[in-house]
Amino acid sequence: MSKTKLDWLEFKGLNEQEIEEKAKEILGMMTLKEKAKQMSGDGTLLRNLIPLAIRYNMKPLPAGVNKNLGIPGVRFSDGPRGVVMGKSTCFPVSMARGASWDIDLEEKIGNAIGIEARAKGANYFGGVCINLLRHPAWGRAQETYGEDPYHLGEMGVALIKGTQKHVMACAKHYACNNMENTRFKVDVKVDERTLREIYLSHFKKCVEAGVASIMNAYNKVNGKYCGHNRHLLTDILKNDWKFEGFVITDFLLGIRRGNLAVNAGVDIEMPFQWRMKPKKLIKYLRNGEITEDQINESVLRILKMLIRFEQKGDADLYTKDKILCADHVNLALEAARKSIVLLKNEGNVLPLNRDKINKIAVIGKLADLENTGDRGSSRVYPPYVITSLDGIKKAAGNSIEIFYNNGESVQEKKDIIKNSDVVIIVVGYTHADEGEYVRTKGGDRDFLRLKQIDEKLILAVSAINSKCIVVLEGGSAIITENWNDKVPVMIMAWYLGMEGGTALGEIIFGDFNPCGKLPIVFPKSQDQLPYFDKNALEIEYKYYHGYRLMDKNDYKPAFPFGFGLSYTTFSYKNLNIEKNTINKNESIKISIDITNTGDSAGEEIAQMYVGYINSAVERPIKDLKGFLKFKLNPGETKTLTFNLNGKDLAYYNKDKNEWVIEEIEYTALVGPSSKTEDLLKINFKISS
């Protein structure tokens, strides 16, 4: 192959061996300087910083574009609730979608995001955020799917499968990125078993699914910045897991020294040339601080992914009319419907019957606010947002009077509130309270309760009219103990995207049966949670958090992991196992009969947990190992089957540096939530 401009369209249809060979050919054509330019974003700090600050990621952010050779480079678009560039479809935040527990839906969302990203000129989606929610005060909780590694892995893989039909995907932020305010400097101390089982297992699942890229986090792990951490990036990611893609840095402060980053396993510094700019890499090479083999390996990884993904999709699909098309907007609406969690419905206040309602009072500033979540790097710009008030009005129709008050003059409107058939109070958080930390906005939360003004509003309004529906907006758990006994209905509405209000109105009036379930524990108090200090410069991450910590300490949460109500009811019976003993390399089928015992069709999420009897090491009382989402009509029964692999029951032996599957007795627990009383149990053994 002569050194002429390449036609990347010629690379379509290549198999894996041919992709490898073609990448090596291209690598052989490149000068050292050209190879070094592949390892950083295009442009310089001075040239690009101001445009990024004015409007982040308005256009694809390029890295490694080589016009002479025709190399298209990596063209970055951020996420995860949609394409950040320009105007795009705004989906619910990831935490909300985590509450849907719907992997098929998440793959469809990924497909839509991939199409819109490609239509806007990107070939890379940096929005598969799978950082585990260790503590609900984390400011960017909304960007991830929840607290459980298994659930995180399943949802992350689904998004990857969807987006990678069209563009390269990136799983982030690797690893132990679970605090916001001190994310650039906090040192996370974590033992190897906890690291592997709790904080890395979902990343491993994404690697096994073929994710194209991994983004390293800002923080330190056991004394080393993630971008300088060879144990994370090379020993585990590239050697143990056999990761074939490339590693990019988080932006600006993802690394501090280029030579340390290259030696650790970083392949591209983003979003521009700085600590790994070509001149520096060549200098490091000449000084013996890095090797040309390391540069070649990084560039080969990048080229292979560029060639592989150039073959994806159909060019005719990526047209401007696909951006914000009806199918994508309807998908955003479906996601919002399935993300809403009905936490409480005493006396079956919901759904509201339009024929029996004349007047509704809607109270609270957030009801009339376009509240789609954080306004940091994940912000998506839709052309419109349906607010809660908009959605309630639309669903109510013309025959019901809607009175709105922002909550500042409740006593003056006491008679109106008292004479309303129902009162809907919308409270919670905004981007100013939680999100990416920028000066005084966003960041980690100081408390998990509502603001005092919101709690006072709920107490004041419920004292006037007891038929209250409280709608909570936010990205994570909210403690409700000060007021939850005063209201009959609570709805967790998260940040629901551009069609969120429509979905809320439909659920309140019964046009859609709620089916979301919590992907995190809602505690009664912060004493039930791990230690958290948003200003900490050093912190230890222990083995237990979330529902596992609740189980260990026998705490009773306000609302357990996996919990959510419906307008119908389901019964779980006849838990069966195909055989009582399996070997370590086998899988086992566990089945259960589930019946819709109510009067309306509904979707249910059956969850399977596993407990460990007489383990040689301390293990959780139970942990999630499977879930299935399905729909049942009234009176209908389905037999569901879970597949459980022996390897999924292993723990990491940090002394031997290996995974161990114990030959002990296990308990399979199946039910509608993690609450012990909700679960049916059956035992089985693993033997050699």
Q: What is the rounded distance in angstroms from the CA atom of residue 83 to the CA atom of residue 90?
A: 8
Cis peptide before 136 (omega within 30 of 0): no
Q: What is the rounded distance in angstroms from the CA atom of residue 275 to the CA atom of residue 259?
A: 8
- For residue 355, the one-letter residue type is D
Structure tokens at 582: 């399996």
Residue 242 zone, left/alpha/beta (φ > 0; ψ -120 to 50; rest): left
Q: What is the rounded distance in angstroms from the CA atom of residue 561 to the CA atom of residue 550?
A: 10
Neighbour count for residue 176 (Cβ, 10 Å): 28
250 catalytic per annotation: yes
CA 312 to each of CA 85, 124, 163, 300: distance values in angstroms, whole numbers, following the listed order: 21, 12, 10, 19
Structure tokens at 533: 């200090």
Give the rounded distance of the alpha carbon of 41 from its chain centre.
26
Q: What is the rounded distance in angstroms from the CA atom of residue 392 to the CA atom of residue 502?
A: 7
CA quadruple 363, 369, 372, 376: dihedral, nearest 10: -130
- Is there a contact between 446 and 532 (Cβ–Cβ < 8 Å)? no
Neighbour count for residue 358 (Cβ, 10 Å): 12
Q: What is the rounded distance in angstroms from the CA atom of residue 79 to the CA atom of residue 382?
A: 13
Q: At what angle do helices 201-208 and 149-163 cross, to 10 degrees?
A: 30
Task: Give SS3 for 129.
Answer: strand
**Which positions ≥6 away from 56 have C-beta within 8 Å?**
78, 84, 377, 379
**Which positions ≥6 away from 617 have C-beta within 8 Å?**
651, 653
Q: Which helix (H) or strand (E) holds 333?
A: helix 326-339
Residues 42, 78, 102, 250: which is the catalytic one?
250
Backbone angles phi, psi at 527, to 5 degrees: -65, -20
Structure tokens at 307: 């060639």
Which residues are catalytically annotated?
Answer: 250
